[in-house]
Structure 1
Amino acid sequence: MIPDSSSRPSWASRNYALLTGAAVVTGLGANGSLIAAAFAVLEAGGDAGDVGLVAAARTLPLVVFLLIGGAVADRLPRHRVMVAANALSCVSQGAFAALVLTGEPRLWQMMLLTALGGTGQAFFGPAAEGMLLSSVEGENAGRAFALFRMATQGAALGGAALGGALVAAVGPGWVLALDAACFALAGAGRAFLDVGHIPPREPGTGLLADLRDGWAEFIGRPWLWGIVVQFSLVNAVVGAADAVYGPLVARDSLGGAGPWGLALGAFGAGTAAGALLMTRYRPRRLLLAGTLSVFPLALPPAALAVPVPAGVLYGVMFLAGATVEIFGVSWMTALHQEIPEHKLSRVSAYDWFGSVALIPLATALAGPAQSAFGRTPALWGTSALIVTATALVLLIPDVRRLRRRGTPDAVTSRTPTGTESAEEEQQANSPC
C-alpha cells in the first residue's frame, strides 16, 4: 500500500503515500456500497421514502457526532481515531451484508447498521482531513492535494462502475461485503501512520474548550463559514438527488442499477480529470476559481429531470465532476494555507458539520417531495438551489479576494483573517 521512498516525489511523505493508498481502498468499496444500499432497500420492497430514510440514517449520526469527532481527533493520536472508526464501519457493513445475503432485511435493521457506519465516519472524517493536511507542506501542497484527490476520485470511478455492475450481476449483499473488507484492509494500513511530527496537546483544556476554540477559528473567517453554508444547501440537494432520485430515474428510464453506476462512475472520471488538471492549474484567487466551478453541479439534476438518454447523462456527470474538482483542490489548499495545524481537525469538523447538516433532512424529505410535487419539479428545484446558493457566496469579499501565497514561508504563515499583507499580496501576484 506504501510506495517505496525512491519512487515517491521528494514532497510526498510516507504518511501522504499511506493515506492516499488507504483512501483508494476505501473509495473502491464505499462508492459501490452507496448503490448497493439503495437497491438493497428497493429489493426488500421499499419505496423512495424508505431509500431516503436509510440514506438519512447514515447522515444523521454524522451530523450529531462530527464536532465531537473533530475535537477528539485534535486531542488523541489521529491515526488511532481513524483505525477505530474504520473498525466500526467494517463491522456495520459486514452485518448489513449478512442480513441482505441471508434473508429479507427489515427497514429498521438497515437504518441502524447504516447509522453505525455514519457514526464511524463522523470520527474518521475530521481525523483523516487533519492528518492529510499536516502530511504536506510548502508550495507543493496544492499539487499534493490534487494528486490525492485524483487517486481517490479514480477509486470512486472504479468503485461506482464496479458496484453498479456487481449489484446487477450478483446482488447488493456481496457489494456490501466487499465494502466491509475494504474498511478492514485500509484500517490495518492506517495503523502505521506516524504522528510524531504533531506536537502533543497542552494539558488543562477540556473538550468543550476545544470546541469553543474551533468555533472561534471557524466563525472568524467569513470565507470559511460562507462557503460551508453554501455547501449545506448544495450537498443536501445533491445528496437527495444521488441517493433517492437517481436510482429511481435509473430504474424507470435508464435500465436499472448498471447505467446509474456508470453515471456515478462518469462523475468520478470527471473528478479524476479535474484533479489531473489541478496538478498544473494553480489559480491565484483560490476561492473565486473554486466557487465559479460549482455552478455546473446544477446540470446533473436537470438532466435527470428531463430525463436525458444515458449517454448524455454520462457526459453531464463527467463535466460536473471535472469542474467541481477545481473547487475541491482549491478548498483544501486554502484550509492548509490559512488554518493552524493544531486546529485542523476541529475546523474540518465544523466544515463537515455544516456541509452535511441538511443532508438527513433532504434525503428524508425526498420521497414526500416527490409525492407532493412530482419527481421532475423536485429535480428542477435542486438545480435552482445550487445556482442560487453559489451565486450568493460570491458576494463575500474574501471569497473573491483570497489569494494563493507564493513562497513556503508565506504558506505556513496563517493569518486570522484569511487576507494578505501588502508584501504577501505582492508575492501572490508574482508568476507561479
Structure 2
Amino acid sequence: MHSYRGDLGLLRDRRFTLLLSARTISVLGSAFAPVALAFGILSLPGADATTLSIVLTAESLPMIVFMLVGGVIADRLPRQRVMMVGELLMAVAFFALGAMLLVGWTPLPALVTAAALGGTATAVTFPALTGIIPEVVPQDRLQTGNALLGLGANASRVAGTVLGGGTVVLFGGGWALVTSGAMFAVAGVLIALLRLEHGERPAGERHSVLADLRDGWREFRSRQWIWVVVAQFSLLVMAIQAGHGVLGPLWAKENMGGPAVWTAFLAGEAIGMICGVLVSIRLRPRRPILVAVLLCLPTALPYLLLGADAPIWAIVAGAFVLGVCFDVFGVLWQTTMQREVPAESLSRVSSYDMLGSLMFGPIGLMLAGPASELFGTEESLLGCAVLVVVSTLGALLSPGVRNLRAEAPPRLTPAQADPK
C-alpha cells in the first residue's frame, strides 16, 4: 500500500532533496528570464519588436538544433556532470545578458551570442534531467519523485512570473537577468553535490554521434506507444500554442477589454497543475499510457468554453482542469519512459520525444493570427479543441497505447517508507 506519508518520505533522501532543490531553483530562474529579457531588450535605445524577435530566435533555434545532440551527450557522459555544466552555462549566458544591459554595452551580435549560449545549454540539460531521475530515485518511487519534481517546477513557474515581473519593475531587466543567472549557478552547485555513481560507457564501445542517434531512434520507434503519443503531441502542442499564445489573449482583448481575464485563466491553469501533483502521487493505473492519453481529452475543454463565449468562471474552471490533466499526464509519461526505456538510451529517446512533441508549435503560432482573421477568433478556438480531440482519439487507436501495462511496484517495508 502507498500512503502520502510513505510517498513524502522520499524528501528525507539527501540526493533527491538536492535534485528537487536544483530543479526548483533552475525553473525559478527560467521563469524570471522571459519577462526580464523581453522588457530589458525593449527598453534599449533604438530597440523594437524585431530586435526582441532576433534575440529570442537566437535562443530558441539552438535549443531545437542541439536537442538530439544533447541526448547523445547525456547518454555518453555522467548525467550529473552534463546537468551541472548545462546549468552553469545558462548562468554564464544570463549573467552576460544582464551585465550588458546594466553597463549599457548592448551590440546585437553580443546579445545574440549570449542568448544562443542559453538555448544550447537548455538543449543539453533537458535530456539529462529525464535520465538522471532514475539514478537518484528508487524504481518503486519514480512516480512520486516525478510528481514532487513537478510540484517544485510548477510552483516556481507561478512564483517566477510574479517575482520576475516585480524585479523588472523595481530594478530593471538587467538586474532581473543577473538574478536569473545567479539561480542557475546555485542549481549547478546543488547538482554538483549529488555525488552519483557514474556509469560512463567504456572507451572501446564509443560510437559516432550519428551512430548513437541511430541507436536512439531505433529505441524510440521500436515502442509504438512512444512514437504514437509523440505524434499526437506534435498536433496537440500546435493547437495549444495557437490557443494559449495568440487566440486566447486575442479573445480576452476582443471580449473582455484587457489582460485581466487572461491572467485569471493562466492562474487557474497554474493552480490546476499544482493540485495535479496530489492526484499524480496517488494514481497508480495498471495501464498508465492509456490513462495518460485519455486525460488529454479534457484539455480541449477551455478552448470549447472560450469558443462558446462561456461565463468567465467556467472558462477559468476549464483552465484548472487542463492544468490538472497535463500535470498527471506528465508524471505518468515520464515515469513510464523511465521504467520501460533502457537507462543507457533514456536521454536520447527523451530528446526525440521533446523534439517531436514541440516541432509543430511554431506553426500553431504562425497560423493562429491568419486563422482568426479568416474564420474568427471563437471559431479558431473551437478548431483548436477539435484538433486536441481528434489527435487524442487517433492515439487511442494504437494497441501499444491501450495495452501497455505497468508492473506492480514492490511492497515497501516500514523502513523504506520512512527513511532516516
TM value normalised by structure 2: 0.81
User: Would the aligned equivalents of 2:62 and 2:120 in 1 still touch at CA under 8 Å?
Assistant: yes
User: Would the aligned equivalents of 2:241 and 2:362 in 1 still touch at CA under 8 Å?
Assistant: no
> Separation in 2 of the partners of 1:52 and 1:406?
49
1:142 aligns with 2:143: yes
- From 351, 354, 365, the equivalent of 1:352 is 354
User: Would the aligned equivalents of 2:292 and 2:328 in 1 still touch at CA under 8 Å?
Assistant: yes
1:188 matched residue in structure 2: 189
Bigger drift between 92-101 and 355-364 goes to 92-101
Displacement after TM superposition at 1:364 (Å): 4.8
User: Would the aligned equivalents of 1:25 and 1:186 in 2 still touch at CA under 8 Å?
Assistant: yes
Bigger drift between 313-322 and 271-280 goes to 313-322
- The DSSP-based 3-state class of the residue aligned with 2:9 is coil
> Separation in 2 of the partners of 1:365 and 1:170?
37
Displacement after TM superposition at 1:145 (Å): 1.7
Q: How big is each residue's C-alpha offset from its partner over 1:210-250, in whole Å with a ceiling of 9 and x where there is no partner?
A: 21111111110000111111112222332344444555666
2:398 matched residue in structure 1: 396
- The DSSP-based 3-state class of the residue aligned with 2:66 is helix
User: Would the aligned equivalents of 1:236 and 1:358 in 2 still touch at CA under 8 Å?
Assistant: yes
1:414 matched residue in structure 2: none
> Separation in 1 of the partners of 2:65 and 2:264?
32
1:117 matched residue in structure 2: 118
Aligned runs of 1:228-307 on 2, under 5 Å?
228-245=230-247, 260=262, 263-302=265-304
- The DSSP-based 3-state class of the residue aligned with 1:203 is helix
1:23 aligns with 2:23: yes
Structure 2 gap ranges (5+): 1-6, 412-420
User: Would the aligned equivalents of 1:52 and 1:243 in 2 still touch at CA under 8 Å?
Assistant: no
Q: How big is each residue's C-alpha offset from its partner over 1:49-77, in whole Å with a ceiling of 9 and x where there is no partner?
A: 98777655543322211111111111112
User: 2:284 is aligned with what amino acid?
Assistant: R
1:204 aligns with 2:224: no
User: 2:395 is aligned with what amino acid?
Assistant: V
User: 1:329 is aligned with what amino acid?
Assistant: V
Aligned residues: 402
Change (3 A) 1:172 1:240: farther
Aligned runs of 1:342-381 on 2, under 5 Å?
342-367=344-369, 375-381=377-383
> Separation in 2 of the partners of 1:376 and 1:92?
40
> Separation in 2 of the partners of 1:342 and 1:205?
13
Percent identity of the aligned residues? 37
> Separation in 2 of the partners of 1:50 and 1:313?
35
- The DSSP-based 3-state class of the residue aligned with 2:186 is helix
User: Would the aligned equivalents of 2:238 and 2:360 in 1 still touch at CA under 8 Å?
Assistant: yes
Displacement after TM superposition at 1:403 (Å): 1.4
> Separation in 2 of the partners of 1:360 and 1:57?
14
1:69 matched residue in structure 2: 70
Structure 1 gap ranges (5+): 1-6, 410-432
RMSD: 3.6
> Separation in 2 of the partners of 1:171 and 1:254?
30
User: 2:396 is aligned with what amino acid?
Assistant: L
TM value normalised by structure 1: 0.79
2:157 matched residue in structure 1: 156
> Separation in 2 of the partners of 1:268 and 1:334?
24
- From 383, 386, 392, the equivalent of 1:384 is 386
> Separation in 1 of the partners of 2:282 and 2:311?
34
1:33 matched residue in structure 2: 33
User: Would the aligned equivalents of 1:226 and 1:393 in 2 still touch at CA under 8 Å?
Assistant: yes
User: Would the aligned equivalents of 2:139 and 2:339 in 1 still touch at CA under 8 Å?
Assistant: no
